[in-house]
Chain A
Amino acid sequence: MNSQRAAWWFLAPAVIVLCVFFLVPVIAACGLSLTDLDLYALADIHNLRFVAFDNYWALLHRPLFWAALWHTVYFVAAGVPLSMAVSLCAALLLHSPLVRCKPFFRTALFAPVVTTVVAMAVVWRYLFNTKYGLVNDALGVLGIHPIDWLGDPHWAMPTIILFAVWKNFGYNMVILLAGLQAIPAELYEAARIDGASAWRQFQHVTLPMLTPTLLMVGILTVSGYFQLFAEPYVITEGGPLESTVSVLYLMYDEGFKWWNIGSASAIAFLLFVIMFIVTTCMLRITRETDA
């Protein structure tokens, strides 16, 4: 057996699985989004019609789609910078030579990342309960009136953002910590000899050296946060007043509750296109700063 043929034998199982169960469905989703596949067409395929861009057109005229998109963008635009800031602060603290028991702190801060979203979201629901939740209890000690975290449309999304930050900051923290450790110590030494303060060292050595890592981590976080689903499903069930319905939540309802497969596929594709545009723009910026 020559190595060329052997290579294909090694590749075949994985490539077949990925093609049949991922690539083909993705292409099919593109096709389905141009049809009116729904419950009637599922029952009798003769009811299926090609509707070109009607699904997309209808979505752009649907207030709930724009609301879902706005909620998702809100989650990304507020959640990603907040997550990154917390991750960076934690990484900077851990990187300090003054820290004792560093492995303990690193493990403890990372632990939320490996926990199950659904389980911790259930915990979150009780912690942020208006009456019995410990969060309002703690705020009460500080003299702050109880907040209706999950019942007030203005507070429900911030509660979910807090959850996402708590759950995810450890991931980027570990990557940023590795980035900090890779900065050559001579750079700091040179800065110190020039009399730079700690803040100026951070500004002129740490930040520029860490920028590529920050951007890469940012891109991954943005594309992860666009896929918001389980958190609102468990914590708020999309409410109150649909204030936490995300794009994927809408896709799930449209597709698997109402069986409007054509329209749901169009939602999925629009999300993909939006994510693609945003991450490509961020990648551009990365390339420009690299050059």
Chain B
Amino acid sequence: MTPRMAKALINGLLIGGTLVALFPMLWMLSASLMQPGQANALPPPLLPAHATLYNYHALFVHAGMRRYLLNSLLVSGAITLSSLALNLMAGYAFAKLRFAGRETLFKALVGTLAIPAQVAMLPLFLMLKPMGLVNNYGGVIVPAMASAFGIFLVRQYARGIPSELLEAARIDGAGELRIFLHIVVPLLKPIMVTLAIYTFLTAWNDFMWPLIVLTGQEHYTLPLGLASLAREHSTDTELMMAGSVVTVVPVLVLFLALQRYYLEGLLLGSVKG
């Protein structure tokens, strides 16, 4: 094979693969702009005959999508901020502070990563009920306020902070909290961005636990609202595609804007877990 042919073959295969990867998203966008009923024509059309925003209008005005969108933003935002604070503190302590039982506790923490979250769901539901957290945003937010994976990620990164820097501050008489806020946090900024995107995306896309704990429609996040719409309106293809667009676009935009941090974190998290 000549180098020229090889080049054409490799780039051609990549273009084909990319088309397959992007096609469902592109079709979703295209169908969301079709007039009601157009997608169910034979043969199925690829592009809208007359593009319209009617489906988006219907979603937000009649189908409660505005509420779901706000719920998703609220829940994912609260989880991101609170778990960022808690994981950052714990990850730093594991990496840089000396205390009795550090290695044992860390091993136990990593061990919990092997337990699937679903094992905890039934008792957790029974526990949250008397606490008034069932069918309440808190039921989704509170259990997600710390994550073993997040702590692990921060610890891996924070081990790179030179100890001399912290010692020097201690000799100068700085308190531990001051050291954390003024020296450690600024140094951890890159991993904070990574962890924030990762947490936000996970919370946004989460389905099973919110499905269990959010029992009333007024608290539904986008995936829950969409799943329930899909069961009611299964024949309204265009409406469902608009709902999918509203659900997917925010996370896709976030990823495209900050993908460097996301991909770095992905690699850091997968190095010898």
Contact = CB atoms under 8 A, between A and B. Distances in A.
Contacts of A248: 118, 208
Interface stretch (B47-55, B56-64, B139-147, B187-195): B139-147
Contacts of A226: 116
Contacts of A32: 122-123
Nearest to B147: A18
Nearest to A279: B114
A166 B116 contact: no
A105 B18 contact: yes
B124 A7 contact: no
Contacts of B234: 125
A132 B142 CA distance: 43
A291 to B, nearest CB: 16
Contacts of B216: none
B126 interface: yes
B98 A3 contact: yes
Q: Point out which of B41, B118, B211 has the most chain A C-beta atoms below 10 A from its C-beta.
A: B118
Given A25-B123, A111-B255, A272-B116, A174 B248 contact: no
A112 B118 CA distance: 24
Contacts of B14: 93-94, 99, 105
Given A1-B176, A122-B243, A122-B244, A7 B93 contact: yes
Contact of B25 (A13, A105, A115, A275): A115
A57 interface: no
Contact of B42 (A132, A178, A237): A132
Q: Is the interface of B mostly helix, strand, loop or mixed?
A: helix
A132 B40 contact: yes
A137 B46 CA distance: 11
B10 A118 contact: no
A40 to B, nearest CB: 15
A26 interface: yes
Contacts of A237: 231
A14 B151 contact: yes
Interface residues of B, number: 101
Contacts of B143: 17, 21-22
Interface in A87-145: 90, 93-94, 96, 98-100, 105, 107-112, 114-120, 122-127, 131-134, 137
Nearest to B13: A93
B97 A116 contact: no
B204 A108 contact: no
Nearest to B170: A3
Contact of B31 (A98, A107, A126): A126
Given A98-B3, A98-B10, A175-B270, A26 B90 contact: no
B44 A134 contact: yes
A109 B226 contact: no
Given A32-B122, A114-B201, A132-B40, A14 B146 contact: yes
A73 interface: no
Contact of B114 (A17, A23, A234, A276): A276
A252 interface: yes
Contacts of B120: 21-22, 25-26, 29
Contacts of A271: 116, 118-119
Interface string B196-229: 0000010011011001100000000011101100
Given A7-B98, A123-B244, A132-B40, A108 B18 contact: yes
B22 A108 contact: yes
A11 B121 contact: no
A17 B87 CA distance: 11
Interface stretch (A59-67, A185-193, A201-209, A216-224): A216-224
A110 B22 CA distance: 10
A32 B127 CA distance: 13
Contacts of B86: 13-14, 17
B24 A127 contact: yes
Contacts of A98: 3, 6-7, 10-11
Interface stretch (A75-83, A152-160, A262-270): A262-270
B70 interface: no
A185 to B, nearest CB: 18
B171 interface: no
Interface of B: 3, 6-7, 10-11, 13-14, 17-18, 20-22, 24-25, 27-28, 31, 39-44, 46, 85-87, 89-90, 92-94, 97-100, 102, 105, 109, 112, 114-127, 142-143, 145-148, 151, 170, 175-177, 180, 201, 204-205, 207-208, 211-212, 222-224, 226-227, 230-231, 234, 237, 240-241, 243-245, 247-248, 251-252, 255-256, 259, 262-263, 266-267, 270, 272-273
Given A116-B223, A268-B119, 11 more contacts: A11-B89, A18-B147, A25-B122, A26-B120, A29-B120, A29-B122, A93-B13, A118-B224, A126-B237, A175-B267, A275-B116
In the A-B complex, the 4 residue pairs with the smallest Cβ-Cβ separation, listed nearest first, are A6-B176, A28-B123, A25-B120, A14-B90
30 contacts: A4-B100, A10-B97, A10-B180, A11-B105, A13-B86, A18-B147, A25-B127, A29-B119, A29-B120, A29-B123, A32-B122, A93-B13, A98-B3, A108-B21, A109-B18, A110-B259, A111-B21, A117-B207, A120-B25, A123-B28, A131-B42, A132-B42, A133-B44, A230-B207, A230-B223, A248-B118, A251-B118, A261-B122, A269-B119, A271-B118
